[in-house]
A and B are shown apart, each in its own frame.
Chain A
Amino acid sequence: MNEELIAELEAGQTIREQPFRSNKPIVGPLVAWFRTVWNGISTRWYVLPLLQQQNRFNHAVTQATQALLERLDELDQRVIASDRDATQWARTFAEDEYRLRQLEKQIARESDDLAQRLSRLEEMLAAMGLERRGESD
């Protein structure tokens, strides 16, 4: 689409002087010659600078449009790259979260295990205390 647009702008950016023509039989060449001469005397000196100014403007617009479209492509590319990066980050974040879930579970398991061992130790200590009291009695 962009290439088509630029090609269309480039094809039409330069306005050229058109030679006068006449289709009238016999006198046609005379009419064209007269118009050319008259244009040279009356309007050419006035129109030609306008034509050149318009051409400079058209050329500048074509170049600016091309630059803008290229810039737009760059921006699109950056947006796409950012979108893909964000997706990768979201995945990495998700993987970290899954690791965290497993760690949390592991900590919970180990904490249960410690609590059970502690409880067994306390029972053993209590039993030993009872035995000592029994001995002293």
Chain B
Amino acid sequence: MRIAYFSPLNPIRSGISDYSEDLLPHLADLVGVDLFVDGFQPSNQELAGRFSTYPIAEYPRRRWDYDVALYHMGNNLYHETIYRMALRFPGIVVLHDYALVGIIGSMTAARGDRGGFVREWGYNYGLEGLAHVRAILDGRMPLSPDEPLNRRLLDISIGLVVHSDYLRRRVLATCPLADVAHISMPCVSRQPRLLTRQAARRELGLDEDGLYVGSFGFIVPSKQVEPLLDVFAELLPLFPNARLIFVGEPLEWYDPIPLIEQRGLADKVTITGYLPFSTWYTTMAAMDLAINLRYPTLGETSAAVLRLLGEGVPTVVSDVGWYTELPDDCVVKIGVGEEMRADLRLAITDLLSTPELRAHLGQRSRAYVATHHAVQKVARHYAHSLEQFVQRIIS
């Protein structure tokens, strides 16, 4: 089998670039793969040397060389030409985000094409959708960032890959006849060397006796930054040597620094900004605890959470979407309603005061990721599913 593979890759800074770079070498052991990219050359030399890479615009005339096209779809403009190609030459779509309102809004209304935006709402929700979007465009209603707007892509694709049962159920609720495969997200450790917590802290210049709590990935309001800061501030008298580190960068429209300063936490909370993988892993190794909350969920599977679990970092997540599917003995889940702050307070208190509990969670989560998210296993599942998709079409 030979597949045409469409995905952002490094140097495009996206979680999906990393995902594809983890998966591709193993997938290519099982099926033939050529890469189609938009306006860049892969910076990963191993990929560049091993795979034939073509500009995405060449796919229309090369498409007969492949058994199937595999499109990796996310909710940002890195996927614009992939989205257009997936509509023009339908194939298998890996749905990394359920909500596509971000990319569709950026491709239409944000460029002055109000009609294009209205058309998508009509396609998705009929006349009610038209009334709704006109109210949004006239400023009479807010635009929700978790609006799916994905029905056109779901309808046209000959197969869909999702990373959770949660997303599979949502897809089937919209398109009951869709052909959907649930494939686990691969998790590959990029830790170049094993580091003890103390060694990682020395390397990063952190206090070896401190209690470090990390929140990993892009800093956005849906990571529940304000409740986290509030609870952290409340618990400081109990754990005076605790420090909170946001490992990642805020999105350009969100500034968390005033929120930290308003709470008097400027000397207790740090934002690292974007980190290369080596430093990212060293920072993970230095943590006592990670708190990666997410509400509302856009239906995503969190690569950051999987990496944390894979490295055995005890982690607190929101009890929603894909996160709910994580085994109860691998993570601590907290509610997303009014109980969130109380749950979070309890979880942090228990975990910071009980090293044995942290060690137990870490061991369980490491074993879980090694078993269920091993990239070789995921690649086999991909190869099998692609074969099945094609067989179902041609039979």
Which residues of A approach B to under 8 Å, CB–CB?
A: 1-2, 73, 76-77, 79-80, 83-84, 87-88, 90-91, 94-95, 98-99, 101-102, 104-105
Contacts and interface: CB of A to CB of B under 8 A. Distances in A.
Nearest to B65: A101
B119 interface: yes
B155 A91 contact: yes
Nearest to A2: B131
A98 B67 CA distance: 7
Contact of A99 (B64, B87, B122, B393): B393
Nearest to A95: B393
B135 A102 contact: no
Contacts of A90: 87, 90, 156
Contact of B134 (A1, A87, A101): A1
Nearest to B66: A101
Contacts of B126: 77, 80
- Chain B's interface size range is 20 to 34
B155 A1 contact: no
Contact of B158 (A73, A88, A95): A95
Contacts, number: 56
B109 interface: no
B156 A87 contact: yes
B119, B127, B157 pick with most chain A CB within 10 angstroms = B127
B393 A80 contact: no
A104 B64 contact: yes
Interface string B234-268: 00000000000000000000000000000000000
B127 A83 contact: no
Contacts of B64: 101, 104
A85 B375 CA distance: 39
Given A77-B127, A98-B67, 7 more contacts: A76-B130, A83-B123, A87-B155, A88-B155, A91-B155, A94-B156, A102-B390
Contact of A98 (B134, B157, B158): B158
Nearest to B124: A80
A29 to B, nearest CB: 47
A79 B390 contact: no
B392 to A, nearest CB: 10
B149 interface: no
Contacts of A1: 131, 134-135
A102 B123 contact: no
B199 to A, nearest CB: 53
B122 A98 contact: no
A57 B127 CA distance: 30
Contact of A87 (B89, B127, B152): B152
B68 interface: yes
B173 interface: no
A84 B340 CA distance: 41
Q: Which of A84, A98, A105 is the most central at the interface, judged by chain B CB atoms within 10 Å of its CB? A: A98
Interface in B50-76: 64, 66-68
A31 to B, nearest CB: 46
Nearest to A79: B122
Contacts of A101: 64, 66-67
A27 B122 CA distance: 63
Given A90-B90, A91-B156, A102-B390, A73 B127 contact: yes
Contact of A102 (B67, B156, B157): B67
B385 to A, nearest CB: 15
B221 to A, nearest CB: 30
Nearest to A94: B90
Interface in B133-148: 134-135
Contacts of B66: 101
B123 A84 contact: yes
